[in-house]
Amino acid sequence: TQLLEQSPQFLSIQEGENLTVYCNSSSVFSSLQWYRQEPGEGPVLLVTVVTGGEVKKLKRLTFQFGDARKDSSLHITAAQPGDTGLYLCAGAVRGGSNYKLTFGKGTLLTVNP
Amino acid sequence: KAGVTQTPRYLIKTRGQQVTLSCSPISGHRSVSWYQQTPGQGLQFLFEYFSETQRNKGNFPGRFSGRQFSNSRSEMNVSTLELGDSALYLCASRRGLDTEAFFGQGTRLTVV
């Protein structure tokens, strides 16, 4: 069973601050996805990283996949209240012709105005 | 292009009853997965269907079951409901056996 540990579990910051959340595992993943979930809604896919060392940017969000494809980070610059939500990472492992997704428990981010 | 549609959005049931939840995937997507989300446990995988066949199954009791129809729509059934079954049930669709999952808004089930 692949386990994904996300840290921190909770994060409360002021508008304009920077932050980084982490997603770590002892397992190697074929790819890793980041989602944001707002209360009462389903998770929304933000990005997929596939190659070890890969960095992807989505406006103020920067995603990095570790060189060994076991970990990932999400950095937010100048956070805004609209960034508030639960950030989930999910690692994909290929088994035969199928991919299985394993989710972390998430980081609950609150950005205060 | 319509997203993943889950019905109903909210449901209140009594202990011992059964419930059926529905999920319509994105058009052209053949894989449907179900997850249970609770504050303490996070997202827990229930099962995945692809082309009407169950591909993967999580560690849930047999009271939780599902099926997929030829049009890729899926249903999940929970029998003999317990208080601990109260959760947000999420459905995710994938185009095929590739990795990106797209979620519906979920069904909030409350068991009283």
Q: Which residues of B touch A30 (CB under 8 A)?
A: 99
Q: Which two tokens stand for residue A81?
A: 């209240």
Q: Is B24 exposed, middle or buried (0-12, 13-18, 19+ CB in 10 A)?
A: buried
Per-residue pLDDT of chain B (112 residues; tens, 9 = 90+): 579 999 999 999 999 999 999 999 999 999 999 999 998 888 999 999 999 999 888 999 999 999 999 999 999 999 999 999 999 999 999 987 666 889 999 999 999 9
- Structure-derived torsion over alpha carbons of residues A78, A80, A83, A85, reported in degrees to the nearest 10: 120
Find the CB nearest A42 among B50, B90, B100.
B90
Query: How far does A94 lie from chain B, in Å, by closest CA?
Result: 9
